[in-house]
Amino acid sequence: MHKLACALALTLSPVIAMAATPESAVDPLPAVAKADEWTMHGGQVELRFNVDRLSAQRVHVVAGPGMRPGSHDFAAEIAFPLLAGGGLRFAAPEGNFQQFTGGKLMGRDGFRLRTEDGLTFDFSRFELRADPANPLQLLLVDTDGEPWFFVNHLMYKLVDDHQAYHIRSADINATPAFAERVGAPNLAGAYVGELKLLSPIVQRPRSFDPRAKQALGDPNFHGTGGFLADVLLTGYTMQFARCRSSAGVNGCDGPAGDDGEVVFVPSSTLRNTNNVNSADVPWYDKFSVSPYNFPYPGNDQHPYLIWNLYRIRDDQLEQIGASGVKHAFLTTNVGCASPHGNHILSPNCADTYGTGNNDNTGDLGPRRELIPATGRWGRCFSIYDSNCDGVEESVGSNQYQNRMVTRESQLTPVGSAFYTDSWYVIQDDINIHNTMGHRSTTFSHAANAWQVTSQGAFTLGPVIDTWVDPITNPTRNVVLDTPEGEAKIAVKAKQLDSCPSGLSGTCWRYDYAVHNFDLARAVLNTNPPANAGANLQVISNTGFVSLSLPRGGDAGMVLDGVHFADIDTIAGNDWAGALTADTAHWTAPAGNALNWGLLYRFSVVTTVAPDPEHTRTLTLGLSGGTGPSHYTVKLMVPNTFNLFADGMED
């Protein structure tokens, strides 16, 4: 069923809508007359459970009575047939989905849930019902009629000339009643799986004319006729997905334990701008073919999503987690006319990628395969096409592969503040700052699992701007904008209670955070295999490999190596620092460049108090390729220079 559904998704011209609602009730939608209802029944549904999350709470997914032993892996997508019957009803004025109106789909050959305390939940004859409390979501009901799960963040479309209803992805979430029943309060509302569905439409309004849904002219891609790509991130939420001990055993024992690995995943929403020159954005799934020769002929380019985790402790900002790249595959085009279908994001159109969708191994790849500043992907010799033959390969079902993973020890220090962010990488987008956003976040641990306890207001822009406000501190938070991409560098100074060895008097620590948004030295294969077509091979996309901070000899300075911070807890790959008469200098070891999407911190201590008016040039080095060996930027540095001999450079 999965291959059939994907084929329909990629080859037909669907009408698309989107439901991305919370589990609480929503405002009433317009009443629907019976004559305006559509009905689906039969087909197949696919389920992929977050088995690590469930089993950590002592809940296990097992084969149901109708399934053959050995025919399932609930960490992968398993198809179940849907029975013909009364069907699930919905309203879709002019072919645009509006709401579910009632009814159900019935599944067979299902599964069971079993707790280690002996409780059993039988889904051998399960149902998907319209939720009477929320017409934009479904309920997953067991054989006894109990709605133990709700299904939201539906990404769906009407396909095959409006003859079938296809859910490409939706989140399965535990109800509070299920969490209470199994004795795991932190499962209430938690993402526990992903659902996909393809069901034939057996009834639609006689007044509906599919011929009325026609594409209106060619897309206005970036660079044609003055049109510019400028997509906005409008919000996201973060959820805990799973954790494991340092020995790889599922579940983790918390702050006092052995420092296990923890995975968090977002649900993120974007919207295209609606200006007179807002460009249409290409959105073609991996291994599909674009019908347009511009901007990149014949290839499978699309937007991408990444997310990160940060901590502020003792006023020092550091990154403690980074995801791989989520490859988007279609746009649901909510709130707009959508004249070009689900592979073009038109002006004012919105789209959401849910938690389960962003936690699917088959859509997650490494960051090294992208040219981030232009948003282009190198399919050739990627993890999906290791021999560049144009045939998609399986990347397995490892639930930690290309996820945002952090250590438990990084989540626990007293006095720490935490932030997450999420941002889309959009092809040729002119403003990366409005395509990213961040939120404050708190975490807690209980019963083998972590919990996202609270999330602050969504703030557009990078987290480094919350650490140091660039508006009120223009010399302490500056942009580095280059042809190869963009970064931000910020500095914060703090008076210390005591000086480190080698200094005396009053000491100040200067913390420099370098946030590399999308600056990469892209090296491409200019002679790919003959069957590579228009697709790229990205050989490397390395970021910064050195940082030099100017200094004079008229005041003491020491490197604060203890406070260098990359994103891991491995001391052996820290950047090496050294002081010369003219600079404080750091150099990256092999394999730990400051690549795109990462933030590293560098620290010095001196006896000079901060002066925002004293700025000098920092140098950020790169290597390889054909570009310059370094870029420079001016911002506040310690005034360790003899001002009378300084020449007043700054």
Assign residue 540 the CATH number of its domain.
2.60.40
Q: What is the pLDDT of residue 581?
A: 87
Domain boundary residue, one of 414, 439, 461: 461
Query: What value, to the nearest 5°, has the Cα angle with vertex 7 and ends 6 and 12?
Result: 110
Span 60-79, pLDDT tens digits: 999 877 677 666 778 888 89
Residue 91 shares a structural domain with residue 18: yes
Q: What is the pLDDT of residue 143?
A: 94
Residue 629 shares a structural domain with residue 526: yes
Residue 280 shares a structural domain with residue 194: no
> What are the residues whose beta carbons fall under 8 Å from the beta carbon of 257, sequence distance 6 or more?
245, 408
Residue 300 shares a structural domain with residue 438: yes
Residue 203 shares a structural domain with residue 278: no
Answer yes or no: is 225 within a domain.
no
Q: Which of 385-394, 431-440, 482-491 has the lowest mean pLDDT?
A: 385-394
pLDDT band, residue 206 (cuts 50/70/90)? confident
pLDDT of residue 9 exceeding 50: no
Span 576-585, pLDDT tens digits: 999 988 999 9
Answer yes or no: is 218 within a domain.
no
- Over range 421-447, report the average pLDDT: 94
pLDDT of residue 200 exceeding 50: yes
Residue 187 shares a structural domain with residue 246: no
Judge whether 321 and 264 are in contact, CB under 8 Å: yes
pLDDT band, residue 10 (cuts 50/70/90)? very low
Tokens of 526: 């200019």
Answer yes or no: is 219 within a domain.
no
Q: What is the pLDDT of residue 212?
A: 63
Residue 367 shares a structural domain with residue 263: yes
Q: What is the pLDDT of residue 260?
A: 93
Domain boundary residue, one of 177, 209, 241: 209
Torsion of CA 331, 194, 139, 33, to 10 degrees: 20
Dihedral sign of CA atoms 224, 226, 227, 228 in order: positive
Domain of residue 623: give its range: 468-650
pLDDT band, residue 411 (cuts 50/70/90)? very high
Domain boundary residue, one of 428, 461, 494: 461
Tokens of 338: 């959508």
pLDDT band, residue 648 (cuts 50/70/90)? very low
> What are the residues whose beta carbons fall under 8 Å from the beta carbon of 212, sequence distance 6 or more?
94, 95
Judge whether 533 and 385 are in contact, CB under 8 Å: no
pLDDT of residue 643 exceeding 60: no
Answer yes or no: is 60 within a domain.
yes
pLDDT of residue 561 exceeding 60: yes
pLDDT band, residue 214 (cuts 50/70/90)? low
Judge whether 563 and 511 are in contact, CB under 8 Å: yes
Q: What is the pLDDT of residue 216?
A: 61
Tell me whether strands 231-244 and 546-550 are parallel, antiparallel or unpaired. unpaired
- Over range 187-207, report the average pLDDT: 93
Residue 293 shares a structural domain with residue 334: yes
Answer yes or no: is 119 within a domain.
yes
458, exposed or middle or buried, with CB in 10 Å at 0-12, 13-18, 19+? middle
428: left (phi over 0), alpha (psi -120 to 50) or beta: left
pLDDT of residue 17 exceeding 80: no
Pick the more confident residue, 340 or 434.
434
Residue 148 shares a structural domain with residue 72: yes
Q: Which of 27-36, 261-270, 581-590 has the lowest mean pLDDT?
A: 27-36
Span 226-255, pLDDT tens digits: 999 999 999 999 999 999 998 999 999 988
- Within 10 Å of residue 451's Cβ, how many Cβ atoms? 17
Residue 22 shares a structural domain with residue 45: yes
Answer yes or no: is 226 within a domain.
no
Q: How far apart are CA 12 and CA 3, in angstroms?
A: 14
Answer yes or no: is 68 within a domain.
yes
**What average pLDDT does the chain have?**
88
Residue 152 shares a structural domain with residue 22: yes
Q: What is the pLDDT of residue 3?
A: 37
- Over range 274-303, report the average pLDDT: 85
Tell me whether strands 538-542 and 598-606 are parallel, antiparallel or unpaired. unpaired
Q: What is the pLDDT of residue 297?
A: 65
Can you tell me whether residue 96 is helix, strand or coil? coil
Q: What is the pTM assigned to this prediction?
A: 0.90
Share of the chain above pLDDT 90, in %: 64
Answer yes or no: is 216 within a domain.
no
- Over range 420-430, report the average pLDDT: 94
Q: What is the pLDDT of residue 447?
A: 85
- Within 10 Å of residue 574's Cβ, how many Cβ atoms? 18
Judge whether 377 and 370 are in contact, CB under 8 Å: yes
Residue 457 shares a structural domain with residue 474: no
Q: What is the pLDDT of residue 275?
A: 95
- Over range 466-486, report the average pLDDT: 97
pLDDT of residue 151 exceeding 80: yes
Domain count of the chain? 3
Span 160-177, pLDDT tens digits: 888 999 999 999 999 999
